[in-house]
Structure 1
Amino acid sequence: MKFWAKPYFDLYDHILSANGVPITLKYLSVIESHLQPNLVSWAGAVGPWQLMPYEAQRFGLKNNKYVDERTDFIKSTEVAAKLLKELYAEFGDWLLVVAAYNGGVGRVKQAIEKAKSKSFWDIQYFLPEETRNHVKKYIATHYIFENNGGVTTLTAQEVQQYFNVPAEQRTAITSADSTLCSVEISGRYNAALICKQLQILPAYFNQLNPGFAAQLASGKKYIMYLPKEKKNLFEATKQQILEQSIQQLLLGSPVAY
């Protein structure tokens, strides 16, 4: 799937990014449907994002005996992105978003109330087995495709506790809002040089951009996330950064930050 699904993942990246949703949530579609557009679940969910009929209708997708737009990759991803953003506004925690996407908002709220906690790891056994396993499958799939975890595989508390970044930047990491922008790049950019030039903490940059070095090293383009206020500076200095990155690659010495 890492190879044949690339066109679908590229599509997901652009739509999720445009809606302010972390692009790694594309892996939710992997466990929902294995990217099969005509898949129908026992509950009546359809398409690559396994949307229920009432969700399709709520977001304006056609769903009748003649056409079911839940099978359309573009339209269903637009709806999934809006739904994920809506769920994040409700829970403020991406693991709870994945749980609610599978089991429903009501079940997650009930589990939170019973556990007296908002951590997935505390509430999981108050959720249906299918839902708690769904979240774990998402985490595992993220690790398989990215070779590590990320913002969407941590609880909100873990993000705040373990990321060594200022409070204002934590908000950018944990929120699906308009504080971030995406820039498509190619070439052997050095992450440390980007951080140094833009004055971004490396831990923050790495969490926003998992798999950065590996994808660029393979010759592929990469959609890089930056704080919006850093975009103009990057555009103005990107050629300089790239030249320095290539020189650094040839010299083989680490960048001092």
Structure 2
Amino acid sequence: MTTLTIAAAQSISIAGDLAANIVWHQRFMQVAAEQGVQLLVFPELSLTGYERGLAAELVIAPEDSVLQPLRDFAQEVGVTTVVGMPVRLSEHSPVLIGALVLGADGSLGVYSKQHLHPGEEVAFAPGTGGSPLTIGGDTIALAVCADFSHASHAAAAAQQGADLYAAGVLITENGYAPDTALLQGYAVRHSMAVLMANHGGATGGWESAGRSAIWASDGSLIAAAPGIGNLLVVARRNADSWTGQTIAVAEA
């Protein structure tokens, strides 16, 4: 196996403040780059916060120039970065929960959440997913929160040859045990590593549990955040073994 370094960005979003969240995302990307991270995954709707009531106001096209500073920075520091944002794929299409892939090569990919959580239908429509990513010799399948509650979603990722299943989520304390059991189970069942990037604090009226985590393909825990807060959870694969660490992210 080739070397691979991935990370979950357990960030705290500022409600509706896209400009401030972009700056904060860049800080995470800088810290990730210093750790040699190749793929960095942020939580669900990380650039706006999980703010259903603001989605129609904040929605953008994936190619919108407002994201150009982030796209440029991903290329500058060499970290492919997955960020969460309400998106509209055409002028008259519905609002989707997007995970935008800002490639280290300057490319832009779009994943849209396929399975909505009850209540999300008031602000969003179901999306259509997206193509897997490739980093070196690894194939990465994306998920956004409730997507992973459907076993068929993880199974489809495995059928696509995914080596890593990477989910940006919002999970509260009540949901943490069952949700992480599902994700760890997918690692074992499908022999793929699993990354979960959870919010680092309260967002949209929900108290996130934090504790972002990464599991190896045998289900063993590589690294996890100890609680809430702005933290980077890093996993490194060398030869056929993983090592992990958690790093606090402070303002520059």
TM-score, normalised to structure 2's length?
A: 0.28
Q: Which structure has the larger Rg over C-alpha atoms? A: 1
Which one has a larger percent helix, Structure 1 or Structure 2?
Answer: 1
Per residue, is there more strand in 1 or in 2? 2
| TM-score scaled by length of structure 1 | 0.28
